[in-house]
Structure 1
Amino acid sequence: MGKTFDELMQYLGDMGIEVSTIRHAAVFTVAEAQNLRGQVSGAHTKNLFLKDKKDNYFLVTVDEDAEVDLKTIHGKIGASSRVSFGKPEKLLEYLGLTPGAVSVFGLINDTQHHVRVVLDEKLMQHDIVNAHPLTNEATTSIRREDLLAFLKMTGHEPLILKIDVATPN
C-alpha cells in the first residue's frame, strides 16, 4: 500500500519543503486538468509510466503541452527496446498510484527503485512545477529545486533530457 496524501505532505514538511495544494474534482486527463488553469500558476505536468521489453520501468514527466514520440523515446531514456505503457498493476505496485493520478510524487513509494525518472528539460525551465499529490483530486505546486531535492531524498536521480519533440533544438 502506497503512502497517503497526508503522509506525502508530512514527508515534504519534514524535509523543509514548502508546497501549496488546491483540491478539485477528480481529473483523469490533461484536457480535464486544463480546465483548472488560472487557479494554479507554473508548469503543469503530463506523466508517462513506461516499460521496455526487459521490464525496466520509467516515469517520464513533461510539460502538459509536450509532444512525446513513443517510437523513438527509448533511445533517449536508455531503454533496452521500444517502450509501451506500464500495466496499472505495476503502477500501483511500484508507485502506489492509479491511472489518472500518475505523478513524480509517486516515487516516494518506489523504495526498491524499480522506476527510473526522466524529466523534460523544457519542464525544468519553470520555477514552479505542478503535479498530483498521489491523488487526482488535488494539484500540488512545488519549486523546481525542491522537486529535485525530493527526488534525491527518495533515492531517484532524475535524468533531465530533451523529450518534447515539438521544442526546437
Structure 2
Amino acid sequence: MPKTGDDLFAFLAGLGIESSTTRHPPLFTVADSQALRGAIAGAHTRNLFLKDRKDNFFLVTVEEDAEVDLKQIHHLIGAAGRVSFGKPEMLMELLGVIPGAVTVLGLINDTQCRVKVVLDAGLMENDIINAHPLTNEATTSMRSADLLRFIEATGHVPVILKVAA
C-alpha cells in the first residue's frame, strides 16, 4: 500500500523538516494550479514521470512554466534512448500517486529506488518549493534545501541539471 499524506508528514517531521500545507480543490494541470498564485508563495512544480526503452524510470521536476524538450531530454538525464511518459499503473506502483498528482514527494513510496530523480537547476535556485503531498487536493511548501534532505532520506540521489530550455 502506498504511503498516505499523514505518513509523509510524519516522515518530514521525523527529519525535522518544516513544511506548510494548503488544502484546495483538486488540481489536475498546471493551468488549474495557476489560479492559486499569490495564495501560496514559492516556486510551483511540474513533474514528468518518464521511462526509457529499457524500462528505466525518471522523475523530472521543473518549475511549472519551464519548457522541456522531450525529444532531447534523454541526452541530459542518462536515459537509454528517447523517453515517453510512464504508464499510470507504474506511476501508482513506484510513486503511489495517480496522474494529475505526480509529485517529487512520491519518492517516499519508491522504497527500491527504481526512479531516478532529476531536479531542474533553475527550480533549485528558489528558496521555497511547492509540491503535492501525494494528492492533488493540497500543496506542501518547504525550503529547497529541505526538499533535498527529504529526497536523500528516501534513499534517492537527487541529480540537479539544467533541463529546462
TM-score, normalized by length of structure 2? Answer: 0.99
Which residue is equivalent to 1:55?
A: 55
Following TM superposition, by how much is the alpha carbon of 1:41 offset from its aligned partner in structure 2, in angstroms? 0.5
SS at match of 1:58: strand
Question: In the alignment, residue 39 of structure 2 is paired with which amino acid?
Answer: Q
Following TM superposition, by how much is the alpha carbon of 1:138 offset from its aligned partner in structure 2, in angstroms? 0.1
Which residue is equivalent to 1:26?
A: 26
SS at match of 1:34: helix
Following TM superposition, by how much is the alpha carbon of 1:18 offset from its aligned partner in structure 2, in angstroms? 0.5
Which residue is equivalent to 1:46?
A: 46
Residues in 2 aligned to 1:164 and 1:104: alpha-carbon distance in whole angstroms: 17
Which residue is equivalent to 1:99?
A: 99
Residues in 1 aligned to 2:109 and 2:36: alpha-carbon distance in whole angstroms: 27
Following TM superposition, by how much is the alpha carbon of 1:111 offset from its aligned partner in structure 2, in angstroms? 0.3
Question: In the alignment, residue 42 of structure 1 is paired with which amino acid?
Answer: G
SS at match of 2:58: strand
Residues in 2 aligned to 1:2 and 1:23: alpha-carbon distance in whole angstroms: 20
SS at match of 1:44: strand
Following TM superposition, by how much is the alpha carbon of 1:2 offset from its aligned partner in structure 2, in angstroms? 0.7
Following TM superposition, by how much is the alpha carbon of 1:42 offset from its aligned partner in structure 2, in angstroms? 0.5
- Identity level (%): 66
Following TM superposition, by how much is the alpha carbon of 1:12 offset from its aligned partner in structure 2, in angstroms? 0.3
Runs of 5+ unmatched residues, structure 1: none
Following TM superposition, by how much is the alpha carbon of 1:81 offset from its aligned partner in structure 2, in angstroms? 0.7
Which residue is equivalent to 1:89?
A: 89
What's the RMSD between the two structures over aligned residues?
0.4
Which residue is equivalent to 2:2?
A: 2
Provide the aligned length of Structure 1 versus Structure 2. 165
Which residue is equivalent to 1:123?
A: 123
Residues in 1 aligned to 2:61 and 2:2: alpha-carbon distance in whole angstroms: 20
Question: In the alignment, residue 74 of structure 1 is paired with which amino acid?
Answer: H
Which residue is equivalent to 1:147?
A: 147
Runs of 5+ unmatched residues, structure 2: none
Post-superposition CA distance 1:114-160 (Å, at most 9, x none):
10000000000000000000000000001011000000000111110
Following TM superposition, by how much is the alpha carbon of 1:85 offset from its aligned partner in structure 2, in angstroms? 0.1
Following TM superposition, by how much is the alpha carbon of 1:82 offset from its aligned partner in structure 2, in angstroms? 0.1
Residues in 2 aligned to 1:120 and 1:148: alpha-carbon distance in whole angstroms: 12
SS at match of 1:150: helix
Which residue is equivalent to 1:35?
A: 35
Following TM superposition, by how much is the alpha carbon of 1:23 offset from its aligned partner in structure 2, in angstroms? 0.1
